[in-house]
Amino acid sequence: MSINICIDKTRLTSAALKSGYALYFYATRYLIERFSWLARDALKNAPGDGTVKMIFSNRTRMSYDDLRDYVRILRAGSVFTDTKIHWPAIVPELITSRAHDQLVGLRAADALASGIRWGLELTQYGHFEDRYARLMARNVYRRNGNARSYGLKFFPGPPARYASKPDHYAWCDEIFPK
């Protein structure tokens, strides 16, 4: 199952999200929210206690203690009161990081993210590649058949259309209908 948080940095207006790791943490909030929903839904049909162990690809100079503290702040509800995280699934102490080459799962996650990215971003020659996204579409997390906002979250909103390529996101609307 894959979950993709797609951020269009060119459309961000908040200066706060442009400093340090704020945008990374904010995107992680969306990811954790969706992990928690997936765990909640999967618990109905699978063994286990429903908690999620999150392993991030290690980012140089980023503190994962700070990320765990951020999750604790989210849990306390002092910021982002609109967060819809299913908290029984999330334990900040289970958030870890590993070097990218240590776990095949991290490389698989990168491949999935890249497949979506190449369908969204134009190359320097004005092309996009949606075949990877189409191949992976069946593995995107859906709830009641809906992938948008579950396995495919756009922030700050749906992708802006390129004037030069008005049909650029037709694949997205086709395989991930609203």
Answer whether residue 64 shows pLDDT above 90.
Answer: yes
- Return the pLDDT at 163: 67
CA–CA separation, 41 vs 146, rounded Å?
14
Q: How does pLDDT run across 106-150, given as a tens digit for each residue?
A: 999 999 999 999 988 888 888 889 999 999 999 999 999 899 989
Q: What percent of the chain has pLDDT over 90?
A: 61
pLDDT above 90: residue 98: yes
State percent of the chain over pLDDT 70. Answer: 99
Domain count, the chain: 1
Write down the pTM of the prediction: 0.89
Is 34 part of a structural domain of the chain?
Answer: yes
Question: Widest CA span of the chain, in angstroms?
Answer: 50
Is 81 contained in some domain?
A: yes
Q: Are strands 90-98 and 152-155 parallel, antiparallel or unpaired?
A: unpaired
Q: In angstroms, rounded to a whole number, what is the distance separating the alpha carbons of residues 117 and 4?
A: 9
Query: Is residue 171, in this structure, part of any structural domain at all?
Result: no
Does residue 176 form part of some domain? no
Residue 161 is assigned to a structural domain of this protein: yes
103 lies in some domain: yes
The parent domain of residue 113 ranges over 1-165
Q: Is residue 110 part of a domain?
A: yes
Q: What is the DSSP string of 74-96?
A: HHHTSS-TT----GGGEEEEEEE
- Residue 64 forms part of a structural domain: yes
